[in-house]
Amino acid sequence: MDLGLKNKVALVAASSRGLGRAVAWGLAREGTKLVICSRNKKVLEKTADEILLQTGVTVFPLAMDLTNRKQIDWLMEETLDLFGRVDILITNNGGPPAGRFEDIDENDWRSAVQTTLMSAVRLSKAVLPGMRKQKWGRIIHLASITVKQPIPDLFLSNVLRPAVAALAKCQALDYARDNILVNAVCPGYIMTERVHQMLKEREKETGRTSDEVLSDLVTDIPLERIGTPEELANLVVFLASEKAGYMTGGCILADGGLYKGMM
């Protein structure tokens, strides 16, 4: 199936590893030109080299801090100098740290707001003028299942991820007339480095084996397994494509059936 993504230009945030990296790979396989960014220059450049070697697409790595407004302005300037436009924006971040309410101080709240919400706001503001001018755009915000239901000890994510989904819905309503489609993708447990580290921590806390900890985690997942980054990326790539032309304002789960609600 031709998704109509060849020679589109995508800006993928926090894409040196994890879900962002998988999305960048998925878009590259469809022939999309890429700008990828993260703080870790060494890992980012390694990812860019691997994508270029395997797919042959044009990919530029730009090391920067998504919580810094001036650096986002610089990112956009560099992207426009390279490609002249942005067709697809994928917002993403590593997610706020775990913690219970009483253990989170005001600095933690400020940092989480900047990382989780304001990075998506600022990136969106940077790309929207160009998308409106060309009357075509896709914005996909990577959020979390915590948009739909809280996860114990992820207090910051439980509060702030729903704000990202609300941002997506409001943007979708405002910019549909410009043929700019905006959706939030809400993954459940996906086997990234962060989830792997969480499993290791639970092993230490409980004294149980890795298999036992993993078995406990998937008990409530109807598919009885954790998802892969590639599965999540496949959904995002479809939403970025011409084939998803009637999908906007959605909050789309990729959780193996973990969320049991009807809405």
pLDDT at 193: 87
Q: Are residues 119 and 130 in the same domain?
A: yes
- Are the C-beta atoms of residues 123 and 13 closer than 8 Å to each other? yes
pLDDT at 79: 98
Q: Are residues 220 and 249 in the same domain?
A: no
The reply to whether 3 falls in a domain is: no
Q: Are residues 195 and 181 in the same domain?
A: no
Q: Are residues 55 and 77 in the same domain?
A: yes
CATH code of 70's domain? 3.40.50.720
pLDDT at 23: 99
The reply to whether 262 falls in a domain is: no
pLDDT digits (tens, 9 = 90+) for 192-208: 988 888 888 888 888 99
* Residue 187 in tokens: 């993954």
Please choose, from the candidates 129, 142, 131, 140, the residue with its C-alpha nearest in 3D space to the C-alpha of residue 179: 131
Q: Are residues 56 and 70 in the same domain?
A: yes
pLDDT at 19: 98
pLDDT at 211: 87
Q: Which residues contact 208 (CB under 8 A, 6 or more apart)?
A: 202, 216
Please choose, from the candidates 60, 76, 58, the residue with its C-alpha nearest in 3D space to the C-alpha of residue 68: 76
Q: Are residues 26 and 108 in the same domain?
A: yes
Q: Are residues 166 and 236 in the same domain?
A: yes
Q: Are residues 79 and 115 in the same domain?
A: yes
pLDDT at 173: 99
The reply to whether 261 falls in a domain is: no
- Total structural domains within the chain: 2
The reply to whether 2 falls in a domain is: no
Domain that holds residue 214: 191-226
The reply to whether 4 falls in a domain is: no
pLDDT by 10s per residue, the chain, length 263: 899 999 999 999 999 999 999 999 999 999 999 999 999 999 999 999 999 999 999 999 999 999 999 999 999 999 999 999 999 999 999 889 989 999 999 999 999 999 999 999 999 999 999 999 999 999 999 999 999 999 988 999 999 999 999 999 999 999 999 999 999 999 999 999 888 888 888 888 889 988 898 999 899 999 999 999 999 999 999 999 999 999 999 999 999 999 999 98
The reply to whether 14 falls in a domain is: yes
pLDDT at 198: 80
pLDDT at 170: 99
- Secondary structure (DSSP) of 118-174: IHHHHHHHHHHHHHHHHT-EEEEEE--GGGTS--TTBHHHHHHHHHHHHHHHHHHHH
pLDDT at 38: 97
The reply to whether 128 falls in a domain is: yes
Backbone angles phi, psi at 142, to 5 degrees: -80, 115
pLDDT at 158: 97
Q: Are residues 148 and 158 in the same domain?
A: yes
Q: Are residues 137 and 221 in the same domain?
A: no
Q: Are residues 98 and 132 in the same domain?
A: yes
Distance of alpha carbon 84 from alpha carbon 67, whole angstroms: 24
**Amino acid symbol at 207:** G
Q: Are residues 181 and 201 in the same domain?
A: no
pLDDT at 194: 82
The reply to whether 51 falls in a domain is: yes
